[in-house]
Amino acid sequence: MARTIARISDLLVRREASTASARWIVATLVLSVVAWIGGLAILLVVANRTHVDIPRLLAVKLPLLKTNPELIFAGESRTAYGVDPVLAAQLLSQKPGYAINIGYDAGEPLAVLGAARLAPDVFAKAHVVISVAPFIFNDGVRSAGVYPQDVAARLSVGEQLVSYLPLRIGTLIRYIREAFDARLAQQERLAETAPQPANYGLTYISHTQAEGKWAARLGNHPHYANWNISGARARYETKALCDLAKLSRKLTVVIPPWAARYDRSSDPEWRERESEIVELVTRDGARCGFEVLNIPSVPDLRPENFADEMHVNATGVPIYTRYLVEQLKR
C-alpha cells in the first residue's frame, strides 16, 4: 500500500513538473512572437517614414525626361515591355525623344504622380499614356511581387500587420526593403544622374513562357484572386489618376490586351472582372477629366506574338505600338 501511494505521489510530481515545463515553453513562444511582431512593427514605422513614392525602377528611367517629351508612356510592365517610343515618334512624324517609355514592373499611378510632381514643367506639356493592370486595383492580391508599394505606404502599421500576417510576411519584407531602396535612389539623385536608358525606355522580352506554364483560363488568374476593387488600392490609385490628370496636358489611361489565345466569350469571370475595371476607371475619368482607352484585343496580334499571358514579345511590340498610336490619334 505504501509503495502504491509513493508511486502515485511520484507520478503527480512528474505531471506537475511536465505541466510547468509546458507552460514555460508556451510562455516563451508567446513572448517571442510578441517581440518579433513588435520588432516588425518598429521596422514598418521606420519604413513608412522613409518611403518615397518614386521607386528605383522608375527613378532610373526619369533621366529620359531631359528630352522634354511630348508623349510619355508610363505604367506597368505591359507598357515597359510592349510600347516602342521610337516607333511611336516615327508614326507621329516626330524625332526620337518626342516619346519616351517610363513603364516598369508593377508600376502604379501613385509613382507616376510622384514623377509628375518631381518634373511638373515636363508633364504639363505632355500627353501621358498610362497602362493599368488588375492588381493595381484588386485588394485581394497580396503577393509581394505585384503589391503596389505606394499604397502600402499609406496604410497604418496596424493595417499593414492585420492585412499581411501571418501568411504574407514576404509582402511586408519587400515593402520595407523597397522603402529604403527608394530613399537611397532619391539620395543618389538617380532621377537626374542615371544613364539614359536604351531605346528611350523600352525593354524587349526575348523569351517565351513554356507551354505548360500558361494559365488554362484567365478568370482564375492570380491577378483576379479574392476579387475586391472597392478597397484602399482602388481608392488611392484612382485618386492618383485624377491628380495626374491635373498635372498633365492630357491623360489617357490604357487597359491593355491579354494574350490572343484567350477567349473572353468563354470565360465569364474574366470578362466580368475586366468590365468592372473599365467601369471603375471610366467613371473616374468622366469625373476627373481623363480619357480611357480599353483595348480588349488587337486584330493583328497572334498567339505567337506573346511571351506570356500578359506581355507581348519582341515580335509583338511593333504591332501593339502601331495599334496603340492609331487609337491615340483618334
Q: What is the pLDDT of residues 250-293, one digit of tens each?
A: 999 999 999 999 999 999 999 999 999 999 999 999 999 999 99
Provide the pLDDT for residue 5: 56
Task: Please determine, looking at this structure, whether the domain spanning 54-143+195-329 carries the CATH number 3.40.50.1110.
Answer: yes
Q: What is the pLDDT of residues 81-117, one digit of tens each?
A: 999 999 999 999 999 999 999 999 999 999 999 999 9
Question: Is residue 229 helix, strand or coil?
Answer: coil
Which whole-number Å values give the CA distances from 320 to 26, 73, 134, 222, 325, in the listed order? 59, 13, 20, 24, 9
* Number of Cβ within a 10 Å radius of residue 14: 10
CB 105 within 8 A of CB 99: no
Provide the pLDDT for residue 149: 94
Q: Where are the alpha helices (DSSP H) in 251-311?
A: 268-288
Provide the pLDDT for residue 286: 98
CB 112 within 8 A of CB 191: no
Provide the pLDDT for residue 212: 87
Rounded CA Rg of the chain: 25
How far apart are alpha carbons 192 and 196 in whole angstroms? 10
pTM: 0.90
Provide the pLDDT for residue 249: 98
pLDDT in tens, the chain (330 residues): 556 655 655 655 566 656 656 666 666 666 666 676 787 889 999 999 999 999 999 999 999 999 999 999 999 999 999 999 999 999 999 999 999 999 999 999 999 999 999 999 999 999 999 999 999 999 999 888 898 999 999 999 988 888 888 778 888 999 999 999 999 999 999 999 999 999 999 999 988 999 889 999 999 999 999 999 999 999 999 999 999 999 999 999 999 999 999 999 999 999 999 999 999 999 999 999 999 999 999 999 999 999 999 999 999 999 999 999 999 998
